[in-house]
């Protein structure tokens, strides 16, 4: 686990969207062969006060944490748009560069688009989207 003063730095570049994409193209396979980021939710509640949620971020130690999380297939409905981007991620002196995606699925109701984050190094990002923290 990184030191308490370590922080996660993300740089996103080369953002490209493709309307009507099938979403069959997966992010670069080489990204899945190195260490991954594990996000661990921390919740603090005190009596009747609103709860505070935060996340402990660290490199996966190989004990099945982040590596065991699904990277794709969590959102139903056809993919109608794909946004691909290049990521440079730095945490505790270690840097990874890779490709990630956001796939937008048509909602069953028809009007909304449901995002699915496909990030081979931070698979826990989809959980943040589903909880309403991101996007």
Question: Is residue 43 within 8 Å of residue 53, measured between CB atoms?
Answer: yes
Instruction: Please name which of 41, 59, 54 lies closest in space to residue 1, comparing C-alpha atoms.
Output: 59
Q: For 35-72, how does the pLDDT look when each residue is reduced to its tens digit (9 = 90+)?
A: 888 888 888 999 889 888 888 888 886 655 444 444 55
pLDDT tens digits for range 76-93: 788 899 999 999 999 988
What's the total number of domains in the chain? 1
Backbone angles phi, psi at 124, to 5 degrees: -70, -10
What's the pLDDT score for residue 61? 67
Q: Compute the distance between CA of residue 12 and CA of residue 28 in angstroms, rounded to an integer.
A: 15
pTM over 0.75: no
In a domain, 75, yes or no: yes
Domain residue limits at 119: 9-130
Provide the token pair at 121: 């190094």
Task: Please report whether residue 98 resides in a domain.
Answer: yes
Task: State the residue for tokens 């909304």.
Answer: 112
Q: In this model, does residue 12 exceed pLDDT 80? A: yes
Tell me, yes or no, whether 3 lies in a domain. no
- On whether residue 93 sits in a domain, the answer given is yes
Residue given tokens 């990184």 in the structure block: 2
Residue 135 lies in a domain: no
> Is residue 2 in some structural domain?
no
Q: Is residue 20 part of a domain?
A: yes
């Amino acid at each position: 686990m990184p030191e308490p003063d370590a922080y996660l730095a993300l740089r996103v570049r080369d953002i490209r969207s493709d309307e009507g994409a099938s979403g069959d193209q997966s992010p670069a396979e080489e990204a899945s062969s190195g260490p991954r980021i594990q996000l661990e939710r921390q919740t603090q509640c005190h009596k009747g006060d609103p709860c505070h949620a935060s996340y402990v971020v660290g490199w996966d130690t190989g004990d099945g944490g982040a590596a065991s999380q699904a990277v794709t297939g969590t959102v139903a409905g056809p993919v109608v748009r794909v946004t691909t981007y290049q990521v440079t991620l730095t945490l505790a002196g270690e840097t990874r560069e890779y490709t990630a995606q956001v796939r937008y699925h048509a909602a069953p109701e028809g009007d909304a688009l449901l995002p699915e984050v496909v990030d081979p190094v931070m698979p826990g990002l989809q959980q943040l989207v589903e909880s309403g923290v991101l996007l």
